[in-house]
Chain A
Amino acid sequence: MFFKRSQPEAGKSRDNARAATAAAPEPTPLAVAELRRTVDPAALGFASTADLEPISGLIGQERALKAIQFGANMRSNDFNVFVLGPPASGKSTAVKQYLTRKAHEEAAPSDWVYVNNFDNPNRPRAIRLPAGRARSLAKAMIAVIDELRSTLPATFEGEDYQARRRSIEEEFRSGQEESFEALNKRAAEQNIAIVRTPTGFVMAPTHEGKIVKPEVFNTLPEGMRKEIETRIEGLQKDLEQILERMPKSDKQRRQRVNDLNTEVATVAVREALDDVQAAFAEEAEVQTYLEEAGKDLVRNVGLFLVQTGEESEIVKQPADTARDPRFRRYMVNVMVGNGEAPDEGAPLYEELNPTFGNVVGRVEHIAQMGALVTDFLLIKPGALHRANGGYLLVDARKLLLSPFAWEALKRTLKAREIRIEQPSEVSGLISTQTLDPEPIPLEIKVVLFGDRELYYMLATYDPDFAGLFKVQADFDESIERSSENDHAYARLIASLVREHNLKPANVAAVARLIEEGARLADDREKLSIQIGHLADIVREADYWASDAGSAEITREAVVRAVEEHTQRADRLRDRSQETIAREIVLVDTEGAQVGQINGLSVLQLGNFSFGRPSRITARVRMGSGRVTDIEREAKLGGPLHSKGVMILWGYLAGTFAQDVPLAMAATLVFEQSYGGVDGDSASSAELYALLSALSEVPISQSFAVTGSVNQNGEVQAIGGVNEKIEGFFDVCKARGLTGGQGVLIPKSNVQHLMLREDVVEAARQGQFSIYAVERVSQGIEILTGVKAGERGPDGEFPAGTVNRLVEDKLRLLAERARVFGMRSSSAGAPANNGDRTS
């Protein structure tokens, strides 16, 4: 529900108050020069960025860079580096620049390959090779297989092998046949025929070469029949013996053939492996592997003698050996191939997607006949393999968000070896048959990037973190403002111009960019080194310069870029201003009110923040000495806000009515605030409203106030001072600047002022003022036009001052409370909590 704005006789009440009170001296606003620290282009000493030598690396980050140097040079697995700092601060670029140089100066680390373990294929063997030799080994093994694919079939087709094979076959076949023929001959001599059936042999008597038919046989004398049967029985036994000997004989034949095959294949395989053995003579592990591969090749010589349909029918050329499934077991899986380019140096690898598999590597599977199968060639390297012997860069947040990845990295760093496991194995959820490759020793420097919150969270909650990431490289958000740093900043801008291939920025544009750097730092004594943000502005300015047909980036283009950037993001700010302009949200910018003041808050929306005035009101009455913070009661106030309210109560209690109880109840509220309120920057405004309510001296609504207070009445610095001032300025400007409007800020915030140019211009013309206050007493005088008052020698505040009026009111409330208490107790009324008045 919206409320109609009340129209109290504001000006009149303020005038009345002045008439009855001691007038305060006219306040002095801040000088225009203090509102924004500008840069004199003439003092920069160049015409455009084209005249400047671009700066390499960062400026003002010596501490962080020293930490990186230290971390990179410490040859220890636990001195890994955590680079912390705000996003887009250029920390990643700076680290990469430094480590690229350093890595380039270092020797390339060893190569690593996985090869088949012929004894245990489930545990592929890892072999270390000198840098640049891994791919040579892989190619050499392909060449070996290619050669064997030609030589083995030719050898086994050759006359020599065939003759020896025929000799063996003939020897055994003739042995069998001779036995058969001898039996046949014996049988024929006895007029017995041996006849072959599909499943064996039968014997039958013959007469003149013909089988004796059963009906004829049955007519023979019984003695003859018996004799024939006896003869056949004898021959059958002989036949059985011959047949039973055949498997043994065949086994011997196969053994002889196998021996021959082994002998022939061994010669061919040895010749094929000769070159690669010579090339890797220094590598003992490779020699062992080649020895085993050679034996396996001889055992599986049949693989080379089978012609695939593809070869013989389609292309008439040998298929690619590397892709032929028959020969996979002899291939070499190059996990890491370093040193292939001259002076390549140590690897520097940044993993942009640090999933578990991408970090520690993985074993892939392929579907084959409905089943998932794998082998050592499906082992894929991870970032740790690629960066082994060098440097690995990873974004900490992404790493932590990837399931299992952080734990895997820690485990690997601790163990100092890369062990490839499936995530399911790690978690113990699923037990699938897969590979268990031999681990690869790890020597690496890991550099994590993250913000401070993440760093401190890890340091607090992860007991392993501090032990593994002992070097912290802390990047600052800003650097000190000085003429040297202004110049360095100009060179930084020049480097951005060059890096992004932009138009040169003239000196006025550079000056404006330096000012924007101070504004981004929220501190006119500092310059923001959030390179990403600065680069965005420079690039957008380049766009607007082109749009304006300018050959260089001008000051106007920079201003346009900043304005356009703001405009793209400030839809909600416009809405907020609109609700105030249409008096849906009630904010007075003229007149005076008792117990009412304009506070200022900052709303942060992504990268964009803006200030907004809010009405704060205070009401007082007799009570038991309690200030009710309505925001807190409604659970809209944060702890810092509540703390601020309690502090101002402490101020009241300590400053006034020290000899009487605070028989007062007060309520404080941020009017029309429906979201959360936190921070103590409104505590001074709340105190002013409370003092006004107690003293009944009205506060000028032409002012807005920001700043926190302590119990001694000192006004303390707050954040977002520029946005807050500009927020109130925009409201006033929309309604028309009267000249009497302004903002009270803590004096300690003056150094942070980098106000918009239109605000500065309004101040220059006397249309808007900024007042810096150190104490509450100063603020209340500006707001009310009435002297605050100091206790005199008699311990009393001078009459007509705000403080006197407050104290008088508190004494009055205390007296009333005392009288009320006596009456209540004599009437037997129950004690109340003081929040109720009669």
Chain B
Amino acid sequence: MIAHVAEAGEGRGRVVLHLTQATPSPVAIAAAVRIAQAFHSEIESLFVEDATLLDIAGLPFAREISLSGRHRRELSPEGVARQMRAAAMTLSRRISELARRADVPLHLTVVRNDPIRALAEACAARGPWNVVALGEPVAALSGEQIALLFSSIPGTTGLVLVGPRAKRAEGRIVAVVEDIGHFDAVLRTARRLHAGDETTKLTLLLVSDSAEEAAIMDEQARLALGEDDTIEILRARIESAEPAMAAEVIRRLSAGFIVGRFGGLLLPPRADLRSLAAVLECPLFLMR
């Protein structure tokens, strides 16, 4: 993962920004740029022309029903392909401009493939220090989906996603720690993202399901941080890995970026995370 690259003093990692013909979230793109800046890495803008959709468009009865349900439209492979090319060009221009302004190297790629497979292949080609940023907001988020992404794309060390209500990629950086064993890795990543920001404090959120566990973690964290007053420590108790409680914790943070690990109290691997996605206003950076 990119955090490891920085730790190891290696040259550079890569942020793979996954784009489709669906309209991407500006926050997701901004998050990708911010991570690339923080870790001095490049962005690979991977526009995937969904092959499945092209196949469907080739069926003789292919019709698209509008989102309102009031209109039907005939589909053709040529028409869909034309739409995809136009979307790719528009996004390329937009991302190029953002990368130029942020002084981040950019590599543009357009492939026609199954979206997941395209991501896996792109990460495998230049791995393993990839972070995948999903351009399309994820509304129907579930632990299984995230787990599937991590398992399908072995060449990635982290996943950045945004919800449909994403508003910002600036502001308070929150490092979520549920296991003191991961304290160092999560905090280091968060510090990289926070570097240069003197207006806000970096927040360390210690999440546990019991008061005892929380007290122990707090003690350990303070010991590790020593006199560092640039970090504020908060505690949150989430019992039974309840997604609604996790969503409330996330909402109250009003964060600009959340860094954490997948598979715990905040993001249980088998839970329905739609309530969390509904309150998520900033990018969520999940480390493998």
Chains A and B are bound partners: yes
Q: Does B55 sit within 8 A of A, measured CB to CB?
A: yes
The residues of B that contact A241 with a CB separation of less than 8 Å are 69
Taking a contact as CB atoms under 8 Å apart, the answer to whether A200 and B66 are in contact is yes
Q: Distance (Å) between the CB of A168 and the closest chain B CB?
A: 12
- The A interface, classified by DSSP as helix, strand, loop or mixed, is helix
Taking a contact as CB atoms under 8 Å apart, the answer to whether B63 and A244 are in contact is no
Taking a contact as CB atoms under 8 Å apart, the answer to whether B58 and A198 are in contact is no
Instruction: Give the residue among A201, A204, A236 with the most B Cβ atoms within 10 A.
Output: A204
Q: Distance (Å) between the CB of B249 and the closest chain A CB?
A: 12
Taking a contact as CB atoms under 8 Å apart, the answer to whether A204 and B275 are in contact is no
Scoring A residues 168 to 193 as 1 if CB is less than 8 Å from chain B, else 0, what string do you get? 01100100000000000000000000
Taking a contact as CB atoms under 8 Å apart, the answer to whether B56 and A202 are in contact is yes
Taking a contact as CB atoms under 8 Å apart, the answer to whether B67 and A159 are in contact is no
Q: Does A213 sit within 8 A of B, measured CB to CB?
A: yes
Scoring A residues 219 to 243 as 1 if CB is less than 8 Å from chain B, else 0, what string do you get? 0000000000100110010011111
Q: Among B21, B61, B73, which residue has its beta carbon within 8 angstroms of that of A200?
A: B73
Instruction: Give the residue among A166, A173, A196, A197 with the most B Cβ atoms within 10 A.
Output: A197
Taking a contact as CB atoms under 8 Å apart, the answer to whether B68 and A198 are in contact is no
Taking a contact as CB atoms under 8 Å apart, the answer to whether B56 and A195 are in contact is yes
Q: Distance (Å) between the CB of A215 and the closest chain B CB?
A: 8
Q: Does A199 sit within 8 A of B, measured CB to CB?
A: yes
Taking a contact as CB atoms under 8 Å apart, the answer to whether A202 and B63 are in contact is yes
Taking a contact as CB atoms under 8 Å apart, the answer to whether B69 and A246 are in contact is yes
Taking a contact as CB atoms under 8 Å apart, the answer to whether A201 and B55 are in contact is no
The residues of B that contact A243 with a CB separation of less than 8 Å are 65-70
Scoring A residues 240 to 270 as 1 if CB is less than 8 Å from chain B, else 0, what string do you get? 1111101100000000000000000000000
Smallest CB gap from B73: residue in A: A200
Q: Among B62, B83, B248, which residue has its beta carbon within 8 angstroms of that of A204?
A: B62
Taking a contact as CB atoms under 8 Å apart, the answer to whether B56 and A198 are in contact is no
The residues of A that contact B65 with a CB separation of less than 8 Å are 200-202, 236, 239-240, 243
Smallest CB gap from B252: residue in A: A157
Q: Which parts of B13-70 form the interface with A (CB within 8 Å)?
A: 21-23, 52-53, 55-70
Q: Distance (Å) between the CB of A62 and the closest chain B CB?
A: 77
Complex Cα distance, B199 from A244, in Å, reads 48
Q: Does B85 sit within 8 A of A, measured CB to CB?
A: no
Q: Which parts of B209-224 form the interface with A (CB within 8 Å)?
A: none
Q: Distance (Å) between the CB of B280 and the closest chain A CB?
A: 14
Q: Distance (Å) between the CB of A311 and the closest chain B CB?
A: 13
The residues of B that contact A173 with a CB separation of less than 8 Å are 274
Q: Distance (Å) between the CB of A316 and the closest chain B CB?
A: 10
Q: Does B75 sit within 8 A of A, measured CB to CB?
A: yes
The residues of B that contact A200 with a CB separation of less than 8 Å are 64-67, 71, 73
The residues of A that contact B138 with a CB separation of less than 8 Å are none
Taking a contact as CB atoms under 8 Å apart, the answer to whether A166 and B75 are in contact is no
The residues of A that contact B21 with a CB separation of less than 8 Å are 197-198
Taking a contact as CB atoms under 8 Å apart, the answer to whether A211 and B61 are in contact is no
Taking a contact as CB atoms under 8 Å apart, the answer to whether A236 and B59 are in contact is no
The residues of B that contact A233 with a CB separation of less than 8 Å are 61
The residues of A that contact B274 with a CB separation of less than 8 Å are 173
Q: Does A317 sit within 8 A of B, measured CB to CB?
A: no
**A199 in contact with B66 given A204-B55, A204-B56 (CB within 8 Å):** yes
Q: Distance (Å) between the CB of A160 and the closest chain B CB?
A: 12
Residues of chain A at interface, number, CB under 8 A: 38
Complex Cα distance, B69 from A241, in Å, reads 7
Taking a contact as CB atoms under 8 Å apart, the answer to whether B58 and A213 are in contact is yes
Smallest CB gap from B77: residue in A: A214
Complex Cα distance, B65 from A241, in Å, reads 11
**A198 in contact with B23 given A169-B278, A236-B63, A240-B69 (CB within 8 Å):** yes
Taking a contact as CB atoms under 8 Å apart, the answer to whether B62 and A202 are in contact is yes
Complex Cα distance, B72 from A102, in Å, reads 86
Q: Does A424 sit within 8 A of B, measured CB to CB?
A: no
Q: Does B191 sit within 8 A of A, measured CB to CB?
A: no
The residues of B that contact A159 with a CB separation of less than 8 Å are 248
Taking a contact as CB atoms under 8 Å apart, the answer to whether A239 and B69 are in contact is yes
The residues of B that contact A402 with a CB separation of less than 8 Å are none
The residues of B that contact A213 with a CB separation of less than 8 Å are 55, 58
Taking a contact as CB atoms under 8 Å apart, the answer to whether B61 and A229 are in contact is yes
**A247 in contact with B68 given A162-B251, A214-B59 (CB within 8 Å):** yes
The residues of B that contact A204 with a CB separation of less than 8 Å are 55-56, 59, 62
Taking a contact as CB atoms under 8 Å apart, the answer to whether B67 and A218 are in contact is no
The residues of B that contact A215 with a CB separation of less than 8 Å are 58
Q: Does B244 sit within 8 A of A, measured CB to CB?
A: yes
The residues of B that contact A247 with a CB separation of less than 8 Å are 68
Complex Cα distance, B122 from A168, in Å, reads 42
The residues of B that contact A236 with a CB separation of less than 8 Å are 63, 65, 72
Q: Distance (Å) between the CB of A120 and the closest chain B CB?
A: 37
Q: Among B58, B70, B275, which residue has its beta carbon within 8 angstroms of that of A244?
A: B70
Smallest CB gap from B67: residue in A: A200
**A244 in contact with B68 given A162-B251, A166-B275, A232-B61 (CB within 8 Å):** yes
The residues of B that contact A195 with a CB separation of less than 8 Å are 52-53, 56
Complex Cα distance, B53 from A212, in Å, reads 11
Taking a contact as CB atoms under 8 Å apart, the answer to whether B67 and A166 are in contact is no
Instruction: Give the residue among A170, A199, A229 with the most B Cβ atoms within 10 A.
Output: A199
Taking a contact as CB atoms under 8 Å apart, the answer to whether B69 and A244 are in contact is yes
Complex Cα distance, B189 from A246, in Å, reads 42
Q: Does A217 sit within 8 A of B, measured CB to CB?
A: yes
Complex Cα distance, B279 from A169, in Å, reads 12
Smallest CB gap from A215: residue in B: B58
Taking a contact as CB atoms under 8 Å apart, the answer to whether B22 and A198 are in contact is yes
Smallest CB gap from A169: residue in B: B278
Q: Which parts of A151-166 form the interface with B (CB within 8 Å)?
A: 157, 159, 162, 166
Smallest CB gap from A230: residue in B: B61
The residues of A that contact B248 with a CB separation of less than 8 Å are 159, 162
Complex Cα distance, B276 from A170, in Å, reads 12
The residues of A that contact B73 with a CB separation of less than 8 Å are 200
Instruction: Give the residue among B65, B75, B244 with the most A Cβ atoms within 10 A.
Output: B65
The residues of A that contact B75 with a CB separation of less than 8 Å are 202
Q: List the 10 closest A-B pairs by CB distance, nearest first.
A: A243-B69, A214-B58, A240-B69, A204-B56, A244-B69, A200-B64, A200-B66, A229-B61, A198-B22, A201-B65
Cβ contacts A to B, 18 pairs, < 8 Å: A157-B252, A162-B248, A195-B53, A198-B22, A198-B23, A199-B66, A200-B64, A200-B66, A200-B71, A202-B53, A211-B52, A213-B58, A214-B55, A217-B60, A236-B63, A239-B69, A243-B67, A247-B68
- Chain B positions within 8 Å of A, measured between CB atoms, are 21-23, 52-53, 55-73, 75, 83, 87, 199, 244, 248, 251-252, 274-275, 278
Q: A169-B278, A200-B65, A233-B61 are in contact. List 15 more A-B contacts (CB 8 A).
A: A157-B252, A195-B52, A198-B23, A199-B67, A201-B65, A202-B53, A202-B65, A211-B55, A214-B55, A215-B58, A239-B69, A240-B65, A243-B66, A244-B69, A313-B199
